Structure 1
Amino acid sequence: MSKEILQRLDQLSRAALASGDLLPVQAQEQLMRDQGLTFFVRWVSTLAAKDAASVSIPGGPRDPNFNPFLPPAPALTVDDASSTHNIVLNKFAVCDLHLVLADKVFSEQLSPLRDIDFRILADFLALQNGLGFYNGGGPAGASQRHKHTQWIPQADSNGSLALYLDKLPTQAAAGSAHQHPALAFEHCFVRLSDSRDPVALSDSLLNSYRLACNELGLVPGQDGQLPPHNMLAGQGWMLVVPRSMELVDGISVNALSYAGCIYVRTPEQIDVVRQIGPLGVLARAGYASNA
């Protein structure tokens, strides 16, 4: 991945905004603290229009017969940026340069992430940091069956694993698995390699993912698909969370929720998050921890 690709993405974003092909979500937010962790709880007023189009954050329509990635919208896609993936601006972006990294050929979203999936993510993480994430299946917040990961840049208001860092071991060895003391649901953090080489980082991402899945008992079924889960990678760590359901009292929970950004559709749902607590919402969407 080169800086030229990022420049092309920036130009594409500005053109898509001007043409109306890119419709970034507009949100009002409140900060909530829970167990020493800070969460952005965002009421997205534009979600009503998205619901009318049968879409959910941060992906596309739920209709299984419609695939927006074959082909992706030309106005949102960087041409010939990768031999294996289409690099697409998320139409309903939660921030600037919110990217979807979609397979050029169809494969199931719940099939295990592969080396090529992590290679495309590592290109962005090595060059620009930020957060790579994956919604594995409908109960994990995925809106499409077509295999794709996502990436957002690093910014103070963007989702990040940085909120967990003060309770994770600073000298953890690469490839070591850990749990966070504030999270009362099944999860696994794995320390990533600090290499800035995309190939080495990609290998670390793949090995960390396999380790986390093994630690959590996430194994493929007879159909080759994994149980629903979220994967997040950034700030030197990977987090994997098994998922039991998408909706908690009508609130959609996806990977970005576990990165500190919970999106709601009505102002009343902000009060629901406050009553349950952000960590309570995340816990109900996953599985109670045995620890």
Structure 2
Amino acid sequence: MPGWQRWRPKKRRKAGAMADLLSRVHKVSQDALASGALEPIPTCQEVVEEQGVEFLLRVLDNLSRKDEARDKLKRAGAHRTDPFLPYDPALYVEEVAPRHRCLLNKFNVVQHHVLIVTREFEPQTDLLDAGDFQALVHCMAQMPGLGFFNGGEMAGASQPHKHLQLIPLPMAPFDVLPFSASIAEVPVGGPQCCPALLFRHGLIRFPSSPSKETKENAQVMLRAYLTLRTYLDLGEADPYNLLVTDEWMMLVPRSQEKWQGISFNALAFCGAMLVRDGEQASLLKKEGLMQALAAVT
């Protein structure tokens, strides 16, 4: 039996059991908002349907704040291009074994968006390993959500320091995620493709059964990740996006970062598209959101 078939997703714990990380994220977010260290970027959003598949299309209300912050660092002549070394202590959540720490995403579009960052510098282009998945599983067990990874600049990675990301679920107004209904129609097992999703990808749906220990779950996730890389014939240096929930894992090879000037990261491949302005939103709706995703994979 392939290792990924022995996946045993943790049952979602009751609020009291999850309070550890969740309460910490909430508290740090409140303090960081008050101090100005956390700078959420507001968006307008709409649900767009294409041939029975729903997308969440977000349009940024104010991207200038993020651009201005980056320009300020450049003007200050900051040689430090790594925002995680040192990190902003106002964004610090907690240490995560074996070699990671959890930080708030400073310019977040989704509330309580966290980064799972290696404590020492490791390249974002390095393959994920058991320690990376152990850190992700630990955080997902306490804050159920969507974990994702942008493997390289062409896959939408904005920082060269290795970091996974986690956003809480559900993603309103959906019960879980925009593509969840389509993925749920795929039988458990894999690796395989979801017929409704026309971009290149590999998918493994995990069987549901009682929970296991974090380290064991991390090893199962690692095996699923390696299985998908083989299934897609992905080379070690090839860019890709990874998306993980407690029910499935998806790997998306990337051929380019942008379509018509619109950049996509991993969240686009769960159906959550983000654009800078109304002009880009109109272009996507005219040409087709799924077609745009297919063009970059």
1:285/1:53 CA distance change after superposition, 3 Å: farther
Runs of 5+ in structure 2 lacking a partner?
1-16, 72-77
Aligned length: 270
| 1:99-156 Cα distance to aligned partner (Å, 9 max, x none) | 0000001111111101111011111223332100000111110001111100011124
Matched, 1:104 2:104: no
1:25/1:216 CA distance change after superposition, 3 Å: same
Residue pair 1:118, 1:205 contacting (<8 A) in 2 also? yes
CA distance in 2, matches of 1:76, 1:246: 28
TM-score (norm 2): 0.84
Partner in structure 2 of residue 180 of structure 1: 194
SS across alignment from 1:46: coil
CA distance in 2, matches of 1:156, 1:256: 11
CA distance in 1, matches of 2:145, 2:232: 25
The one-letter amino acid of 2:194's match is H
SS across alignment from 1:100: strand
Matched, 1:267 2:278: yes
Following TM superposition, the consecutive aligned residue runs of length 4 or more in structure 1 with deviations greater than 4 angstroms are none
Partner in structure 1 of residue 60 of structure 2: 44
| 1:65-113 Cα distance to aligned partner (Å, 9 max, x none) | 6000112110001244444111000001122210000000111111110
Runs of 5+ in structure 1 lacking a partner?
56-62, 221-225, 287-291
Residue pair 1:64, 1:144 contacting (<8 A) in 2 also? no
Matched, 1:10 2:26: yes
Partner in structure 1 of residue 227 of structure 2: 211
Structure with more contact order per residue of length (Cα contacts < 8 Å, sep ≥ 6): 2
Partner in structure 1 of residue 91 of structure 2: 76
The one-letter amino acid of 1:217's match is D
CA distance in 2, matches of 1:184, 1:64: 42
TM-score (norm 1): 0.86
Partner in structure 2 of residue 289 of structure 1: none
Q: Among the aligned pairs, what percent are the same residue?
A: 34
